[in-house]
Structure 1
Amino acid sequence: MRDQPAQARWVIWLSLLVALALTIWPLPDTVAPFRPEWSALVLIYWIMALPHRVNVGTAWITGLLLDVLTGSLLGQHALALAIMSLVVAGSHLRIRVFPVWQQAMTVMALLGLYELMLILVDGVTGNLYDLEWRWAPVLAGMLLWPWIMFLLRALRRQFGVS
């Protein structure tokens, strides 16, 4: 007996693959510093919505794929996403009942934690660069959160992902 439709898995993984593709999508130089952390935003949604399906292991795999795609230190994004996912999984019941604007502020804090972990790893490895622009994706992610949340919720309901 199956407890989950087969389509549920592909919707989650397809949304994560789209997030990875958006991460490497070329942008003009003027907009590139404001590129949101797509993978982190999608993971935050899925962990809040389905913590029994999407968890720290999913975040770790997504982070390793992100490391390979961006050519960064192997494990850097995996570590940052795993730590962020632990925080989301531990408080997903509280975050889900927040109004959208409060969720956006919480997502900003979560993305700030993610970015801080990346900065710490970069600092240890001696790769510090443009610290003032490192916080632009956090702001962009906070502003995009309501649309991402509503889009992924509509997909989850349309395909019966549970």
Structure 2
Amino acid sequence: MEDRGAHAYWVILACFFGALVLAIAPLPRSLLLLRPEWVALVMIYWSMALPHRVGLVTALCLGVLLDVLEGAVLGQNAASLVVVSVLVLLLYQRVRVYNLWQQSAVVFVLVSISQMVSQWLQKLEGLHASQSLIFLLPAVASALIWPLIFHVLRRVRRSFRVT
């Protein structure tokens, strides 16, 4: 019997790589505020599906990598993804039994918290932070796209038998 452990990690890493590519893909200026938080969405899914494989260390590594790719202050995305990861690991058993629209509401709250942590850290660093709630638009986009992300990643998980 083959070892599926290494195989499972490659599938998860490929999903995170795809999310990182989508996170830095160029968009028109008018659509930048509507870009879903791809890395957070993929991390939320894998943390809920496989909490024993994807957790705080994964969130920290992804956050630092996203900081480097985006040119953000080192630790900004890492801190927000770690906060989201902690919340998902605390809530995953409850969220799993919700229907997709309830899960979308939870995703909205989680991504909003992530955005608020990022805004707070930007304010502490003296960078320009949004003066209105417009910075929450990516959370709305993420919540709206969650059902699609959920179905695609679940199909990937089942077809590659990631456990």
TM-score w.r.t. length of structure 2 = 0.95
Supply the distance in 1 between the matched residues of 2:126 and 2:30 (Cα, whole angstroms): 26
Supply the distance in 1 between the matched residues of 2:78 and 2:90 (Cα, whole angstroms): 18
User: Which residue of 1 is the match for residue 154 of structure 2?
Assistant: 153
Question: Where do residues 1-162 of structure 1 align in structure 2 (5 Å cutoff)?
Answer: 4-132=4-132, 133-162=134-163
Provide the secondary structure at the position in 1 that maps to 2:53: coil
Supply the distance in 2 between the matched residues of 1:17 and 1:103 (Cα, whole angstroms): 24
Supply the distance in 2 between the matched residues of 1:81 and 1:5 (Cα, whole angstroms): 24
**CA deviations over 1:70-102 (Å, ceiling 9, x no partner):** 000001100110011000001100000000000
Tell me how far 1:61 sits from its aligned partner. 0.2
Amino acid aligned to 2:7? Q
Query: Any stretches of 5+ residues in structure 2 without a counterpart?
Result: none
Report % sequence identity: 42
Tell me how far 1:2 sits from its aligned partner. 7.7
Supply the distance in 2 between the matched residues of 1:128 and 1:55 (Cα, whole angstroms): 31
Provide the secondary structure at the position in 1 that maps to 2:17: helix
Supply the distance in 1 between the matched residues of 2:152 and 2:63 (Cα, whole angstroms): 22
Tell me how far 1:115 sits from its aligned partner. 0.4
Supply the distance in 2 between the matched residues of 1:23 and 1:105 (Cα, whole angstroms): 21
Moved more, 135-144 or 23-32: 23-32
Query: Any stretches of 5+ residues in structure 1 without a counterpart?
Result: none
Supply the distance in 1 between the matched residues of 2:123 and 2:129 (Cα, whole angstroms): 9
Moved more, 20-29 or 131-140: 131-140
RMSD (Å), alpha carbons: 1.4
Provide the secondary structure at the position in 2 that maps to 1:135: helix
Moved over 6 A (4+): none
Amino acid aligned to 1:152? L
TM-score w.r.t. length of structure 1 = 0.96
Supply the distance in 1 between the matched residues of 2:131 and 2:161 (Cα, whole angstroms): 42
How many pairs were matched up? 162
Supply the distance in 2 between the matched residues of 1:111 and 1:32 (Cα, whole angstroms): 16
TM-aligned CA distance change 1:93 to 1:2, over 3 Å:
farther
